[in-house]
């Protein structure tokens, strides 16, 4: 017998805005001293919820262990990356058998002994959480800048390591976040820091051996609260790139990599809703921008007149240009055509070709290509049935060479599986792509069980790639589907815009319509669909649990953004101002207030039956704060009319991504799948 679930106390709290009064009786679950979280009532409630989760899952321990063992057996214990040449060295990473984290290596390209650059397991020892963000070797190969987070709070300690001795010789900052860029002298480093609100607000120049307190600020964002600053380097190593922007507007400055202390060169002043990025080759700047077409164009500029842009590749309704890299011999254009990834190589004389791939549906992206003029381009490829594959592409011979295919030690036979791409109708007449994987022989009479995943925000597409984890469902007779709904950029940048801000309801309706389309196709039926999404995808889970509870057999909402109306009005939270372009500003805009209130999952819980639900969060999560899932679970418990299982699990030592080790994160996958299997059936 399960103990009674925890019941969070209701404490009167209300506010009024735009003439509307909002009751928020679980407001107290936000520790008012945040980011310090030490309120004993808050911690006690979270502890009770975690204890209830453990009690509910205890009868299923054997299933969790079975699933975990399956998932672990599909991972190669000593997996390693394909070495990649960068200058005089070959670089790669590898796992030691049983290791949770990678070890990073290099050896001379001309031959010689391998050297350990960074031993993540050693650095993670004694910590519940460890995440390496940066490992960047200086141009002369003697030093490495590296940064790590040991709490999940996304504040990274940036250090400089002497690779000859393996000792860290400097700590640059304890509040880094983002990439770093070395000056060409190997004695200077540009990095970014976060402020008290977790906003990456400035880029600083550190010279080795100097006091970090005296580091020069290269650029600080003071105009826009929602802008974040990032740094990088052009492919030809000529410029250090300092970019600032939010989800719809960007601005780029360039600093000579030979003289990092020089005044930054502004490429073009920011213009609202214009995005652009910059690379460099052959003395010219190569710019990707959406200023003339929603699907972006490629332009060229002289550094002496960086704001004068001449079109090289025009924007197109049919071709969505997602990224460019300026190599010595080609511009590499990363594109999407009718939802399918493409890579186009364009020589500087204007001749071009697309790389041909062997399957009709797949995902492909550039891999690590650190050199300016490599003999071949490294690519990563997969499909829903094809494991992760690493290719080198020879642009002269136009030939792909397979360097590595993901090894699945427990065995995998792709001929046992089928994948298809369905176009299902949305209620407004648009067609939604859905990628589906199942074992051959899967029934098409509506009797099958289906796991449906989506994200649907920030222009982030979920590609039809490969996962060993999902095989634990598919091998039990389930179908696994990805709904490529609006809010992602799967069908072009406008597909993203159609699920953003004022058009946000399209995202939620698309997901439910995708489910109905899969039912119509005979893949499943209402009540036999388990759904999953995380972060903004967790918001999606919350909305469709409110709007269409009868469709779902189980809901798994990971770090869900569900207290949307409150969060978007809380300017003290680190990410809120930067999110207004994505969701709208309910503080100043009554229409945005009404829109967000209409879907905010926490604010729309009703007295009705809900499906079984598993909700997760992280105490140290700065993106979706722990009280969002906690408040939502509390309101659901107090309001819903069913007896279906509702579980809340808060990771007390992790952040947005959950547990950090490769096996620890797998165990969380096993718990989620065990929940789904026991609630929908098929265990």
CA distance 387 to 383: 7
Degrees to nearest 5, angle at CA 450 with 447 and 451: 165
* DSSP-H helix ranges across 376-479: 471-474
- What the block records as the tokens of 231 is 């740094």
Give yes or no for a contact between 219 and 270, defined as CB atoms under 8 angstroms apart.
no
CA distance 189 to 645: 52
Cα dihedral value 299, 301, 305, 307, nearest 10: 20
Start-to-end Cα distance in the chain: 20
Query: Quick one: which of 598, 632, 638, 626 has its CA closest to 613?
Result: 632
Q: In terms of DSSP bridges, do strands 529-534 and 552-558 run parallel, antiparallel, or are they unpaired?
A: parallel
List the catalytic residue out of 188, 392, 656, 660: 656
Ordered DSSP codes for 584-625? --TTT-HHHHHHHHHH-GGGG--SS----EEEEEETT-SSS-
Beta bridge partners of 148: 132, 157
Sheet with 115-119: strands ordered across: 84-86, 89-94, 103-108, 115-119
List the catalytic residue out of 535, 558, 563, 603: 535
CA distance 683 to 678: 6
CA distance 683 to 679: 9
Query: Quick one: which of 305, 138, 297 has its CA closest to 207?
Result: 138
CA distance 178 to 200: 8
Ordered DSSP codes for 199-221? -EEEEEEEETTS-GGG-EEEEE-
Question: What is the widest separation between alpha-carbon atoms in the chain?
Answer: 75
CA distance 164 to 610: 60
CA distance 29 to 628: 9
Q: Is 431 among the residues known to form the active site?
A: no
Give yes or no for a contact between 288 and 300, defined as CB atoms under 8 angstroms apart.
no
CA distance 489 to 30: 34
Q: Is 512 among the residues known to form the active site?
A: no
Residue with tokens 């407004």: 428
Query: Quick one: which of 199, 177, 153 has its CA closest to 622?
Result: 153
Q: Is 435 among the residues known to form the active site?
A: no
R_g over Cα of the chain: 25
Active site residues: 535, 621, 656
């Amino acid at each position: 017998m399960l103990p009674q679930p925890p019941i969070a106390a209701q404490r009167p709290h209300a506010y009024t805005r735009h003439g509307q009064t909002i009751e928020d009786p679980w407001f107290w679950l936000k520790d008012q001293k945040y980011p310090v979280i030490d309120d004993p009532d808050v911690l006690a409630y979270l502890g009770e919820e975690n204890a209830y989760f453990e009690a509910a899952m205890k009868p299923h321990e054997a299933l969790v262990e079975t699933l975990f063992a399956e998932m672990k057996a599909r991972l190669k214990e000593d997996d390693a990356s394909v070495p990649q040449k960068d200058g005089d060295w070959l670089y790669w990473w590898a796992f030691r058998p049983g290791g949770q984290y990678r070890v990073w290596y290099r050896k001379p390209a001309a031959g010689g002994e391998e050297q350990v650059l960074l031993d993540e397991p050693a650095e993670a020892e004694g910590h519940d959480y460890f995440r390496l963000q940066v490992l960047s070797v200086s141009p002369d190969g003697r030093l490495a800048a590296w940064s790590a987070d040991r709490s999940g709070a996304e504040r990274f300690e940036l250090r400089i390591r002497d690779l000859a001795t393996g000792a860290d010789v400097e700590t640059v900052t304890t509040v880094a976040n983002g990439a770093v860029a070395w000056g060409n002298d190997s004695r200077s480093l540009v990095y970014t820091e976060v402020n008290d609100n977790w906003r990456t607000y400035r880029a600083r120049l550190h010279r080795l051996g100097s006091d970090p307190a005296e580091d020069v600020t290269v650029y600080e964002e003071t105009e826009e609260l929602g802008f974040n600053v990032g740094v990088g380097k052009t492919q030809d190593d000529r410029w250090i790139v300092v970019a600032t922007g939010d989800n719809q507007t960007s601005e780029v400055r360039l600093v000579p990599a030979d003289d990092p202390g020089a005044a930054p060169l502004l490429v073009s002043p920011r213009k609202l809703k214009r995005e652009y990025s910059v690379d460099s080759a052959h003395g010219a700047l190569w710019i990707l921008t959406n200023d003339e077409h929603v699907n972006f164009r490629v332009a060229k500029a002289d550094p002496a007149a960086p704001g004068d842009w001449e079109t090289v590749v025009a924007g197109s309704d049919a071709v969505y240009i997602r990224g460019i890299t300026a190599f010595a011999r080609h511009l590499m254009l990363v594109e999407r055509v009718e939802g399918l990834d493409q890579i186009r190589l364009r020589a500087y004389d204007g001749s071009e070709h697309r790389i041909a791939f062997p399957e009709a549906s797949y995902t492909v992206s550039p891999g690590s290509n650190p050199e300016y003029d490599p003999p071949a381009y490294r690519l990563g490829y997969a499909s829903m049935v094809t494991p992760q594959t690493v290719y080198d592409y020879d642009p002269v011979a136009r030939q792909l060479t397979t360097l590595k295919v993901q090894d699945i030690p427990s065995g995998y036979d792709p001929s046992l599986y089928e994948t298809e791409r369905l176009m299902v109708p949305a209620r407004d007449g648009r067609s939604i792509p859905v990628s589906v994987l199942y074992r051959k022989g899967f029934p098409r009479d509506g009797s099958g069980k289906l796991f449906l995943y989506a994200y649907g925000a920030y222009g982030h597409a979920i590609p039809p790639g490969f996962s060993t984890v999902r095989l634990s469902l598919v091998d039990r007779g389930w179908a696994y589907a990805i709904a490529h709904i609006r809010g992602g950029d799967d069908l072009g940048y406008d597909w993203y815009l159609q699920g953003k801000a004022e058009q946000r309801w399209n995202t939620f309706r698309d997901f439910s319509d995708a489910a109905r389309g899969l039912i119509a196709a005979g893949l499943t039926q209402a009540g036999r669909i388990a759904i999953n999404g995380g972060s903004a995808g967790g918001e999606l889970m919350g909305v469709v649990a409110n709007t269409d509870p009868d469709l779902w057999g189980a809901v798994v909402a990971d770090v869900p953004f569900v207290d949307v109306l409150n969060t978007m009005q809380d300017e003290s939270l680190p990410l809120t101002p930067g999110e207004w372009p994505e969701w709208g500003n309910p503080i100043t805009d009554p229409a945005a207030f009404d829109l967000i209130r209409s879907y905010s999952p926490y604010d729309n819980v009703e007295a009705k039956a809900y499906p079984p639900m598993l909700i997760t969060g992280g105490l140290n999560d700065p993106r979706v704060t722990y009280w969002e899932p906690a408040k939502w679970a509390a309101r659901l418990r107090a309001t819903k009319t069913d007896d279906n299982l509702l579980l809340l699990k808060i990771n007390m030592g992790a952040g947005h991504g959950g547990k950090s080790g490769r096996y620890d994160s797998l165990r969380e996958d096993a718990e989620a799948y065990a929940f789904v299997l026991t609630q929908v059936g098929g265990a």
